[in-house]
Each structure stands twice: as structure tokens, then as C-alpha cells.
Amino acid sequence: MDVMIGQLFTGLSIGSILLLAALGLSLTFGQMGVINMAHGEFIMAGSYTAYVVQQVVSSAGASLLLSLLVGFVVGGLMGVLLEATLIRRMYHRPLDTLLVTFGVGLVLQQLARDIFGAPAVNVVAPSWLSGGVEILGAVVPKTRIFILMLALVAVAVLSFALAKTSMGRRIRAVVQNRDLAETSGISSRRTDVTTFFIGSGLAGVAGVALTLIGSTSPTIGQSYLIDAFLVVVIGGLGRIAGAVVAAFALGILNSFIEYSTTASIAKVIVFVLIVIFLQARPQGLFVAKTRSLA
């Protein structure tokens, strides 16, 4: 029984990491239709932000909390810069955004190598996150529990912002019908920038969280990019609830299959199951309501 509980929490922790990586994509890819292949490098930027902040702030606990805020701002500003210089010219050309942002991602990886070097660097976790907590006979690392809580808080804040604030209503209006929103006085241009800032900022937060469970390298974001895209597609484009269900389902499924096989075989089996699911339900778990005539 304790093995089952342990695998369940391992799956939840994997799912929470996927969820953090996918939340930003749910906005930029799911709602705006931009295929941003540089999203993984925004995650990488968040990880290196945590490393830099810890070089300045010696207290591991204070540097972690400060890194979450700084990582969000750094990721968000990188997203705004990318949107303002390249993406804004390609909103109706998704394949072009894929190619351009893939190139931007390669440039950012090389930039990280030039600044921090190719070897991985480590961020020291605060002492209050060391060790584990026993839950129903299974010992769950505190870092995994912290990442799970961080993912749930991010989902709650993002859902509240989209549902209850004027900014969220503007974003939803532009997504549902851009022309009608502009006719109603909403600046779609300003809304696009805001959406990209939030989506990219969440990638920065994901990068900070990843430093708690592993080393930081220039390619750390690429390890999660494809899985994050899969979470958004399986959950339904632009559906936060769908991303939550898909991320935890993939995490738990991967955890239990990997326990009885290997990591590589589990990856293949999960991918095959995803293909079968999308054949039966190509629109994903949840379908976004839209008033668009296109």
C-alpha cells in the first residue's frame, strides 16, 4: 500500500511540474494560437534567475521567495520583448511563429552557455524544504510538496484573474472575438502584450521551481517543452481546468507505468496512449467556447 501511495505522490509531483510548465502555454498557445518554441527557454531563464538571486541573497529561503517574483518578471519581460519584436507580425501565421521562436530558443540557449557556461549549476534549497513528510506510510520529499502547492496556487490565482478581474475579462473577450472586442473599445494590442507577459512569467516561475529538484543547464526547458504542449492539447486549447486534469493524469500514469518498466518504455507507452486518446477526442478534454465566425 505504501508503494502505491508513494507512486501516487510521485505522479502528482511530476504532474505539478508539467502543470507549471503548461500554464503559460495555455495562455500563449491555447488562447492566442502562438506556437512559442522559446517557452522552454523562458523556463530556463527562470532557473538561472534563481541561481543569480542566490548569489546575491545568501539566505536560501529568502532567495527562493524572491526568485519566484523576479523569475516571473524576467520571464514576462522576455515574452513581451519577443511579442513586440517578432510575434506581433505573425499572429495569423502559426507555422511561422513555430520556426521563428525555435530559432530564438537556440539563440537563448547559446546565450546562456556564454554567460553561465555549459556545465550545470545548482541552487541550494532552503533548510525548511529538506527531508520528507510521511503520508500514509510513504515518505514524500518536502520540495515536491512545495512544487505541488505552488502549482495549485498558480492555477487558483490565474483562474481568479481570468474570471473576476477586468484584465481577465478583456483577455477572454479578445480570445472569443477579437473584432467585436475592438469594436467594444478593448485594445487588443494591449491585451496581447498583457497575455504574453503573464504566460511567459509563469514559465519563469516554473523554472524557479525546477531548481528545487535538479540542476540548471541551458537545455533544462527543452526537457519539459513537448510534455507541456501535450498537456495543453490533451486538456483542450485555452482550458485551465483541462490543463490541470491532463497534467496530473499524465504524471500519475507515467509514474505507475515507469515503476513496473523503465523510464524510456513508460514514455513510449504514455505517448501511444495520448495518440489513441487524441484520435478519439481531437478537441481535448474540454472545448473552449468561442463566438468567432472563423
Pairwise pLDDT comparison (49 vs 239), residue with the higher score? 49
Grid cell 527557454 is found at 41
Q: Residue range 190-219: average pLDDT?
A: 90
**pLDDT (average), residues 263-270:** 83
Block residue for cell numbers 496581447? 192
Question: What CA–CA distance (Å, rounded) separates 269 from 275?
Answer: 10
Instruction: Provide mean pLDDT across the span 117-146.
Output: 86
Mean pLDDT of the chain: 86
pLDDT on residue 62: 92
More confident residue, 215 or 11: 215
pLDDT at 6 over 80: no
pLDDT at 262: 82
pLDDT score, position 65:
93
Identify the DSSP state of 134.
Answer: E
| CA angle 194–20–92, rounded 5-degree value | 45
Per-residue confidence band for 56, with pLDDT thresholds at 50, 70 and 90: very high
pLDDT per position as a tens digit, 15-31: 888 888 888 888 887 66
Half-sphere exposure of 35 (CA within 13 A, CB side): 14
Give 188's pLDDT tier (boundaries 50, 70, 90): confident
Give me the pLDDT at residue 291, please: 47
Decide if pLDDT at 143 tops 70.
Answer: yes
Q: What is the per-residue pLDDT for 294?
A: 42
pLDDT classification of 290: cutoffs 50, 70, 90: low
Asked if residue 45 lies in contact with residue 104, where contact means CB atoms within 8 angstroms, the answer is: no
**Of all residues in the chain, what percent are helix, strand and coil, respectively (each to 5)?**
75, 5, 20
User: What average pLDDT does this structure show over 2-15?
Assistant: 79
Note every long-range contact of 59-66, with CB atoms under 8 Å and residues 24 or more positions apart, other chains counting.
59/126, 60/124, 60/125, 60/126, 60/127, 61/126, 61/127, 61/128, 64/125, 64/126, 64/208, 64/212
> Is pLDDT at 289 greater than 70 in this prediction?
no
Residue 187 or 67, more confident = 67
